[in-house]
Structure 1
Amino acid sequence: MTALDAALSAGRREAEALMVDTISMYRPGSDIFDRDTGQTVPGGPAVVFYEGTARVKPAQLAVSQVQAGEEELRLRQYRVTIPWSTALPSTGERPRAGDVVDVTASPDVRLAGLRLWVQSVQYSATATAWRIIAEERS
């Protein structure tokens, strides 16, 4: 084991120690029309990328405001960190913009139930964790 391998291994253990939240990261499936109610409802996940511990934290304090149709949306950016060792699904697909991160549990009750949309994903052989930039839209 080289000094770099040892440093990366130690860094990855420390990064995982900070992962106290639980998330589900997936690609949404197609919407389904419910004939009984006449409503369209979200379909189940088309691809599940990860379910497990993570670190979810705001990337910045500033909030962006954008116009979407006739509504004004507020966007908050978050960094989602999952274990570096996380494997891709058997299909080999990688997360991309528009995929979803649901915070399913957190010691900070204000984070539980938060839905985020993936903006970008960072890959690196020398990273200590897999980092995803996501945003909350409200």
Structure 2
Amino acid sequence: MSELEEALAAGRSAAAELMRETVTVYRPGPDVFDRETGQTLPGLPEVVFYTGPARVKPLSASDTDAQAGEREVVLRQYTVSVPFSTAPPESGDRLRPGDLVDVSASPDPRLGGLRLWVTGVQYGSTATAWRIIAEDRS
């Protein structure tokens, strides 16, 4: 094993130790209309990219105000790091903007239940983790 490979293995191990949240990264399927309630419900996931430990941290200290319809929303950006060894789905699909990250558990109770929308993905052979840029649209 070369020095570079040893350094990457050590970095990837250290990055994995910081992954304290549990997330699911997926592409949502088409919404389903419930005739009994008259509501549109989210469809089942079309593609699941990853489920397991992750690190979710704010990308910056500043938030962005935006208009959504007639409602003002605050966009908070996060970096979601999942293990570098995460394999792509068998379908060959790649993560794209609009896919979702659901945080199902975290030592920080404010992160549990958080839904994030993917806005970008970082790839690189010398990365210590697979990093996903996402935003909270609350």
Quote the Cα distance in structure 2 between the aligned partners of 1:89 and 1:4.
Answer: 28
Deviation at 1:89, TM superposition (A): 0.5
1:65 partnered with 2:65: yes
Task: Output aligned runs, 1:14-93, within 5 Å.
Answer: 14-93=14-93
Deviation at 1:38, TM superposition (A): 2.0
1:135 partnered with 2:135: yes
Unmatched 5+ stretches in structure 2:
none
Q: Percent identity?
A: 62
Unmatched 5+ stretches in structure 1:
none
TM-score normalised by length of structure 1: 0.98
Quote the Cα distance in structure 2 between the aligned partners of 1:58 and 1:38.
Answer: 36
Which range is displaced more, 32-41 or 115-124? Answer: 32-41
> Which amino acid is 1:45 matched to?
P
1:108 partnered with 2:108: yes
> Which amino acid is 1:20 matched to?
R
Quote the Cα distance in structure 2 between the aligned partners of 1:105 and 1:53.
Answer: 9
- Give SS of 2:126's match: coil
Quote the Cα distance in structure 2 between the aligned partners of 1:110 and 1:41.
Answer: 24
> Which amino acid is 2:61 matched to?
L
Per-residue CA deviation, residues 40-71 of structure 1 (Å, 9 max, x unaligned), is 11111010000000000111111100111211
Per-residue CA deviation, residues 61-106 of structure 1 (Å, 9 max, x unaligned), is 1110011121111000000000000001100111110000000000
The alignment yields a C-alpha RMSD, in angstroms, of 0.7
Quote the Cα distance in structure 2 between the aligned partners of 1:108 and 1:72.
Answer: 26
Quote the Cα distance in structure 2 between the aligned partners of 1:94 and 1:83.
Answer: 16
Quote the Cα distance in structure 1 between the aligned partners of 2:118 and 2:32.
Answer: 22
Deviation at 1:34, TM superposition (A): 1.1
